[in-house]
Amino acid sequence: MMLFAPKVFPKLSTLSHAGRSMYIWVYYTIPLAFTLLLVPGLFLKVMGISPGAADGDLFFMRLAGALLVSMSFMSHQAAILDMRQFFVWAVMGRTFIVGVLIVCTVLGLCNPIVTFFGCIDFSGAMWTLMGIRRDEAEARGQQAVTAQPTP
């Protein structure tokens, strides 16, 4: 059983379409994760949010950063090893998170800027979904369906 992917920095051309989107997503999540983990106050300041009284020591922000580091590592490994079922789960999970953020914004429980970042992640999830579909089409020997301009 292989514990780690054989290469940390593979050539993008060697990855599947879905794997490539997950791999590139990690370059967004790793800096965000370490910022949340190590300097969560900086993240809040950039977002224009003040820490709540319940999280004055920013423990929960640091915990979120640690969880995101873990998810980023799993996504990185899955992308390189082309773990397609993981890609499907990632799309589902990332879509769920955006749904939660939208509901929280509508209810006034979070700052709308947080939902903006969620929408960035949602667009990445949709990129992964398109990659999954393209990989499946290529595996069936079909040309991937792409948007074509109408005459």
pTM more than 0.75: yes
50 confidence band (pLDDT: 50, 70, 90): confident
45 confidence band (pLDDT: 50, 70, 90): confident
Condensed to tens digits (0 to 9), the pLDDT of residues 106-149 reads: 999 888 888 888 898 999 999 999 999 999 998 888 765 555 56
From CA 17, how far away is CA 45, in angstroms rounded? 36
From CA 133, how far away is CA 88, in angstroms rounded? 10
From CA 107, how far away is CA 109, in angstroms rounded? 6
Which pLDDT value is given to residue 149? 60
From CA 25, how far away is CA 60, in angstroms rounded? 23
